[in-house]
Structure 1
Amino acid sequence: MKTSQNRRKQHRRFPLGKGALMLVMAGTMMMGACTKEKEIQGPPVITPGPSPTQLVSIDLYGTVTDQSNNPVKGATVTIDGHQTTTDQSGVYALPDIRVNAKRAVLNASGAGYFKAFRAFIPREGSQYTMSVKMVKNNPTHTINAQTGGTATLSNGSEVKFPANAVVDEQGNSYSGTVQLAIQYLAPGDAFFGELLPGDLSAERTDGSEAVLKSFGMLNVELTGTSGQSLQIKDGEEAELTVAVPAGLQGEAPSTLPLWYFDEVLGMWKEEGEAQFNGSVYVGKVKHFTWWNCDMAFDPAYIEGRVVDCNGDPVVGVGIYDKLGGSGAWTDGNGNFSTRVIEGRTYELHAELPELGIKSQIEMVGPLSADELYTIPDFKLTVCPAYISGRLTDCDGNVADGMVYVSHSTDPVQVVFTTNGVFKTYVAPNEDYTLTGLTNHNEISDPISVTSGALGGITDMGDFAACPSAYENSFVIDGGIYSNEKIIFPTIFAPTATAWANYNSPILGITAYADDNNGVYYDNMIFGVKATTTGTYTSLSGDLTVNIFLGDLATPQDTVNLRAEDMTMEITDYPAVGGIVQGTFSGTVKDPVSNTQYTISNGKFAAIRQQ
């Protein structure tokens, strides 16, 4: 690789240490691109990587939200064979995992949504956050598989099927109604960078690496009347018509390659071509996934750093280009690195769009193929508001871990600590609730704090994470249990094991334990007609109780218990973000064996999600 004359500078380290502040900013980090400034696309860190067989260890956390910034609960998140699910706040956690050093690809999937993909180049020992935005895949068109047909979008994009060209996943011909869910995406669209699968890195048919310039893309999912997945029959082709944004039609070539997104590699691959016809590209495809109409260029590279008005590195800042392109966000040390198109001039700046804070503009390029350019530091013209503090254990000793930052309208943020210390930027003059979680799963009391003005630091000082402060447990007697205490882990962040949601007229309280492989073998679920503190009983109809105690070694000893005569007292009923607490006791029964059990000394503590 060549390095430009602007030689690499020795980056100053963040005072809190490496990876100290990887902040989840789902839905806010890069969503503020205005109509004149298109968001730079790409992963948080992109530089030419080592051998694809090399692995690195990282911690990965983040949130999964929909286009309206609502959390996607229960989404499956996978990366290089590691898997987890999102909690009630859409937060996922994959600590201490080993991933491909050359290219790590995150995949989020959930019922009712198109799959979402993010790709990045990881660094050994680093902590990353990766926000994922998902789009609902509600079917909007239907065709008859026997006769074929055309599904047309309002912007002129089309999907055209020949007759008898659809099969199920086993390759059997399908002759019924085909339901189509179609997603269109093009530069300039809202959330283009957050919805773009992977990034714009690609592989040509000759195996060479490329960076793409998109003129528009389509994602098509086919399902049958029973919900089964469908595809195009081998030997058949469907015709795609992809609308080109008006601002790009003047530079659209008469013919360009088609590219499909390889979900395994997390990369675009060349296959086929499309012809330009006035305002659309038309081409044929042999299978359905994301299809992209693009020009391919050799890559060049830009790296740099973003600092605030005091010269301190800032995490989670977006890098923008007025003309569009590919790019990144800053990491825990304020650094960024991105692939760009060779031979082009870029007008770049850093921005916190949710706060309206920008840096100076830097002109870069044109760069030659494979050139690496280190840009001067971007400096934010105004410092954001900050909240800082130090996490300790019950004895006042410094404790490392993370801080769960909740706001009434924004996605949850996760802030990492170094030597117990954290510092994160927030919106000015807003109310937040913070909960600390140590690396030993010790939980703090939730603390309310109001941020100061822009440029100010609200220091919370020390706050303790005491495991005894909250507990989900009970003593059970009956059947195979003889006054045995059952304890559920009480974790509120980054993935909650106990949560409460109010959905009028019921307050639902859930606590669970798993086997660390995503198998829930113990849980207790309460439904209470409650909007405040008080005492509630099952006999009055105000309380339902479901307790499941699974025995993986002896399945016949598994019990699923229902309330017979149970009483619950809610002692604390806070606002969203606080911890609902109380006690419960009484008798339950297994409806299968008709065995009665006594529950005593029951305690619950659950973070209120809504």
Structure 2
Amino acid sequence: MMNKTLLSILTIACLLFLSCSDDDDFSQINDDQEITDPTEEEPITIDLSENFGNEVSRNFIGQIVDANQNPIPDVAIEIADITTTTDDNGVFILNEASVYENFAYIKASKPGYINGSRALIPTEGINHIRIMLLEKNIAATIESGTSSVVTNENGASVEFDGNFINDETEETYTGNIKVSFHYLNPEDSNMTSQMPGMLYAANADNEERMLQTFGMLAVELEGENGEKLNLAETSGATIRVPLSSALSANAPVTIPLWYFDEDKGYWIEEGEATLQGNEYVGTVNHFSFWNCDIPAEAVNYCLTLENEEGETLANTVVSITSATYGTTYGATNESGEVCGLVPIGENLSLEVYSSYYNSDCNEIFFTTEIGSFSQDTEETLSIEVPDELEVSVTASILNCDAALLSEGYVIIRTGIYSFHTIYIENGELSSSFLLCNENYSIELEAINTNSLESSGNLSYTLTEGNNDLGSISACETELEEFINYTIDDEEFLITEEIIANYGDNFLTIQGYNGQAFLYLEGILAQELTGSYNSVPFPINAIGFSFVEGPLTTDEYTNITFEVTSFGQVGQYIDIEFSGDYLDWSGNPHTIVGTVHVLRDE
């Protein structure tokens, strides 16, 4: 889990900094709601879309989980006019979605859960989304026509006057009402995954603002037959939102109230709450997510993070701190970029962390001041990264036909709740991240999004720098045996006509697929498994000789072999190899490969 220092920073997050459904089921909001300003003759129409920029095409991958971090399958996902559903891992992929330069809005819905969503400033790379859906917990069942108070386990409460309507027909409702009720605590590290949209809002004057939250409520009302209910037009409800002790020092006596508009994808100011003891108390006239927030003027900030060699730092956690508005965090995408909102005119500090989310050893290893901003800004920052933290993995992901996977994804887990979801196209896995895990241990799973077949969970121990994992089959029907290798950038796979014989410490393996030919022979040590070096033909010492078409020569062959398993006849021999060699024309080549073959003799 994330260390306490990082948790205390992140759970007091006030801003939103991101890379990283159906219509509202429980609110009565019109797209062009008008708010009357007593100083204006004409009502104000709330609409921030003119700030979103031009329409652009962007790509998204995301995961939907429940409160226990378990993936939720069959969640309906909507981005603009494109829809899909999550798979068994709770993962979805949506490519070429039409969004805006400065605003993308993703909705997630499933029966039994309160609608969830995420809004962000999309980057040109793959945009990573994570949403934690809240269950429709029945906190209480109340009766229409009677005033009642519903309190949840955190001390938040709602007082109803008893007047309700059917949200669709707007007719008066009489009968029992099931109340689903959640309080979102700013001290909870899951809050940014649970809350809808992002902390981006329109105030009562239709000005865009970023928000510092002091607590949220989600309330949903349902009739006896599943009807969606809301408060009657002339009705009101009193909400009480507990004040987090971590925020009490900066808590104002009065604070604006904001509701989340599921159609627009952002918060809208409506009313205010007053601090009474250790809770904010206010009145609302409809139900959605409600939020107690201090607003701030903001600009868009996009950061590309690099190491000293100019290589982008992907999947890297950063935080930005303002003395006035607190700390927020995000993670860079595969292009090393992260974008979000920062407050205008505030001196800001940037911190970079030594591992991905929720890692036991996660610590700040780099801090710098990034100044204050008065306009939208894009910048690149080069930082010094300890060599032992930088890890990368490459692999070829195959389908059940042993061909490169056209589309899918890979999940790399580096801790209980710490993982990267990586989009795969044309079978290429290439990802980097910071890893402070002393054992460099990971679990990897490759998934074919077309057939929904998986490689299963595979365990690897990585080393500092690049780790080539060879070929990974995203196929529940495993190939019986194969020889897979890559020469320079060209991949070869042999699955038939493979022979593997062993006797008197001498091993020969050969395979041919009509185009590719590979032959290995070796003298093995007594323990059989272990590391071996190249030796020349004719072989007369412990080690391996190697022939591949085009043929290698003895002038220069520098290939290492790792025999990881050596079974009896009918069982598997597994070998990984990599290195350099010259062909007969004297041209150098780099090779990396995997042997997984049944022993014939």
Question: Is contact 1:43-1:328 (8 Å) kept?
Answer: yes
Which whole-Å deviations, capped at 9, do the CAs of 1:479-507 have from their partners, x for residues lacking one? xxxxxxxxxxxxxxxxxxxxxxxxxxxxx
Question: Is contact 2:113-2:134 (8 Å) kept?
Answer: yes
Which secondary structure does the structure 1 equivalent of 2:162 belong to?
coil
Q: Which residue of 2 aligns with 1:359?
A: 365
Match of 1:455 among 459, 464, 488: 464
Q: Which residue of 2 aligns with 1:597?
A: none
Instruction: Please report how far the alpha carbon of residue 41 of structure 1 lies from its aligned counterpart in structure 2 after TM superposition.
Output: 4.9
Which secondary structure does the structure 2 equivalent of 1:337 belong to?
strand
Question: Is contact 2:10-2:329 (8 Å) kept?
Answer: no
Write out aligned runs for 1:186-265 (5 A).
Answer: 186-265=185-264
Whole-angstrom CA distance in 2 between matches of 1:29 and 1:49: 37
Question: Is contact 2:455-2:474 (8 Å) kept?
Answer: no
Instruction: Please report how far the alpha carbon of residue 85 of structure 1 lies from its aligned counterpart in structure 2 after TM superposition.
Output: 1.1
Q: Which residue of 2 aligns with 1:344?
A: 346
Q: Which residue of 2 aligns with 1:111?
A: 111
Distance 1:91 1:29, change over 3 A: farther
Q: Which residue of 2 aligns with 1:493?
A: none
Question: Is contact 2:178-2:223 (8 Å) kept?
Answer: yes
Distance 1:446 1:72, change over 3 A: closer
Given residue 460 of structure 1, which amino acid in structure 2 is its aligned partner?
Answer: L
Whole-angstrom CA distance in 1 between matches of 2:146 and 2:224: 16
Task: Compute the TM-score of the two structures, normalised by the length of structure 2.
Answer: 0.64
Question: Is contact 2:410-2:424 (8 Å) kept?
Answer: no
Q: Which residue of 2 aligns with 1:554?
A: none
Whole-angstrom CA distance in 2 between matches of 1:451 and 1:432: 6
Question: Identity, % of aligned pairs?
Answer: 25
Write out aligned runs for 1:129-168 (5 A).
Answer: 129-168=128-167
Distance 1:180 1:448, change over 3 A: closer
Given residue 461 of structure 1, which amino acid in structure 2 is its aligned partner?
Answer: G
Distance 1:278 1:306, change over 3 A: same
Whole-angstrom CA distance in 1 between matches of 2:15 and 2:295: 15
Which secondary structure does the structure 2 equivalent of 1:360 belong to?
strand
Q: Which residue of 2 aligns with 1:98?
A: 98
Write out aligned runs for 1:66-77 (5 A).
Answer: 66-77=66-77
Write out aligned runs for 1:89-488 (5 A).
Answer: 89-123=89-123, 126-307=125-306, 312-321=311-320, 324-351=326-353, 352-355=356-359, 356-357=361-362, 358-365=364-371, 367=372, 369-370=374-375, 372=377, 374=379, 376-381=381-386, 382-391=388-397, 401-405=407-411, 413-417=421-425, 420-425=428-433, 428-430=439-441, 432-435=443-446, 437=448, 446=455, 449-453=458-462, 455-462=464-471
Distance 1:183 1:378, change over 3 A: farther
Distance 1:372 1:97, change over 3 A: closer
Given residue 337 of structure 2, which amino acid in structure 1 is its aligned partner?
Answer: N
Question: Is contact 1:307-1:313 (8 Å) kept?
Answer: yes
Distance 1:446 1:143, change over 3 A: closer
Which secondary structure does the structure 2 equivalent of 1:193 belong to?
helix
Distance 1:227 1:31, change over 3 A: farther
Instruction: Please report how far the alpha carbon of residue 243 of structure 1 lies from its aligned counterpart in structure 2 after TM superposition.
Output: 1.4
Instruction: Please report how far the alpha carbon of residue 454 of structure 1 lies from its aligned counterpart in structure 2 after TM superposition.
Output: 5.8
Instruction: Please report how far the alpha carbon of residue 437 of structure 1 lies from its aligned counterpart in structure 2 after TM superposition.
Output: 4.5
Which whole-Å deviations, capped at 9, do the CAs of 1:416-442 have from their partners, x for residues lacking one? 35783523447654353443649xx59
Say whether 1:44 aligns with 2:34: no
Distance 1:153 1:377, change over 3 A: farther
Question: Is contact 1:300-1:342 (8 Å) kept?
Answer: yes
Whole-angstrom CA distance in 2 between matches of 1:376 and 1:145: 59
Question: Is contact 1:387-1:451 (8 Å) kept?
Answer: no
RMSD of aligned alpha carbons: 3.7
Question: Is contact 1:415-1:424 (8 Å) kept?
Answer: no
Instruction: Please report how far the alpha carbon of residue 267 of structure 1 lies from its aligned counterpart in structure 2 after TM superposition.
Output: 0.6
Question: Is contact 2:55-2:98 (8 Å) kept?
Answer: yes
Whole-angstrom CA distance in 1 between matches of 2:287 and 2:451: 47
Structure 2 gaps, min length 5: 21-47, 480-601
Of the structure 1 ranges 95-104 and 271-280, higher mean CA displacement relative to structure 2 is found in 95-104
Which whole-Å deviations, capped at 9, do the CAs of 1:105-145 have from their partners, x for residues lacking one? 10111122221111122345x33221221121211123222
Which secondary structure does the structure 1 equivalent of 2:193 belong to?
helix
Whole-angstrom CA distance in 2 between matches of 1:202 and 1:96: 26
Whole-angstrom CA distance in 2 between matches of 1:40 and 1:272: 20
Given residue 424 of structure 2, which amino acid in structure 1 is its aligned partner?
Answer: F
Higher relative contact order (CA closer than 8 Å, sequence separation 6+): 1
Write out aligned runs for 1:30-41 (5 A).
Answer: 33-38=6-11, 39=13, 41=15
Distance 1:264 1:359, change over 3 A: farther
Whole-angstrom CA distance in 2 between matches of 1:78 and 1:415: 19
Question: Is contact 1:40-1:319 (8 Å) kept?
Answer: no
Instruction: Please report how far the alpha carbon of residue 259 of structure 1 lies from its aligned counterpart in structure 2 after TM superposition.
Output: 0.8
Q: Which residue of 2 aligns with 1:583?
A: none
Distance 1:49 1:303, change over 3 A: farther
Which secondary structure does the structure 2 equivalent of 1:248 belong to?
helix
Whole-angstrom CA distance in 1 between matches of 2:314 and 2:50: 25
Whole-angstrom CA distance in 2 between matches of 1:442 and 1:152: 46
Q: Which has the larger radius of gyration?
A: 2
